[in-house]
Amino acid sequence: MATVPDGTNVSTCQKLTFALDGIFGLMCWCTVGQGPFSVGVTQFSIETDTISAVTLKGHPLAGWRYWRAFSVGTNDVVVETGAADTSGPGLKNYAGYYIFQGRQTKLWQEDFQYILSDLRERGLAQQGSNPAYNIVKGKWGYDQTYIMSHIIQHLPNSCGN
């Protein structure tokens, strides 16, 4: 769906640039006439198995996202993502954010379902046994305190951005 240059190793203060691939790149509101967009990594923690990022100038969204993995039992791992964001500047980003807000959640659902399906095909995983964490569909709307507790906010100039 998106590409990042080969050999990219994620680290704090790193800028990651994404370009949507194929037909999705042509259909997505966020890339029409815009091209690739970037995020700055604000946290990369092996201790908490968390990565968080802030959108950079030119991104169709303005805000933060995190990804983390944690165990809820023997051989039961949860992969979670969350965001506190709004539209980036401009009418196109504002309209796209509100018109396609359900599509954003659907994209993450499809990503997580692909990961689970791929792991199942290789005999490495099955969907977890803890129903409280079997929310592959996601939801729009969030508990801002919970989301922000997983995002370390660095001032943009602390990473030289």
Confidence band, pLDDT 50/70/90 cuts, at residue 56: very high
Confidence band, pLDDT 50/70/90 cuts, at residue 140: low
Note the pLDDT of residue 62: 92
Whether 50 and 108 have beta carbons less than 8 Å apart is answered as no
Going across the sheet that includes 15-20, the strands are 2-3, 15-20, 37-45, 50-55, 61-73, 76-87
Q: How many CA atoms lie within 13 A of 82 on its CB side?
A: 17
* Measured distance CA(161)–CA(33) in Å, rounded: 24
Residue type, 99: I
Tens digit of each residue's pLDDT (9 = 90 or more) over 6-22: 666 788 888 888 776 65
Note the pLDDT of residue 101: 75
Task: Return the exposure string of 113-127: e unless at least 16 CB atoms fall within 10 Å of the residue's CB, then b.
Answer: eeebeeeeeeeebee
pLDDT (mean) for 126-136: 69
Query: Considering the domain 2-143 in this protein, what is its CATH number?
Result: 3.30.530
Note the pLDDT of residue 45: 84
β pairing state of 2-3 and 15-20:
antiparallel
Quick check: 154 pLDDT over 50? no
Tens digit of each residue's pLDDT (9 = 90 or more) over 20-40: 665 445 445 444 555 778 889
Note the pLDDT of residue 26: 46
Better-scored residue on pLDDT, 75 or 1:
75
pLDDT (mean) for 131-153: 70
Residue boundaries of the structural domains of the chain: 2-143
DSSP state of 103: H
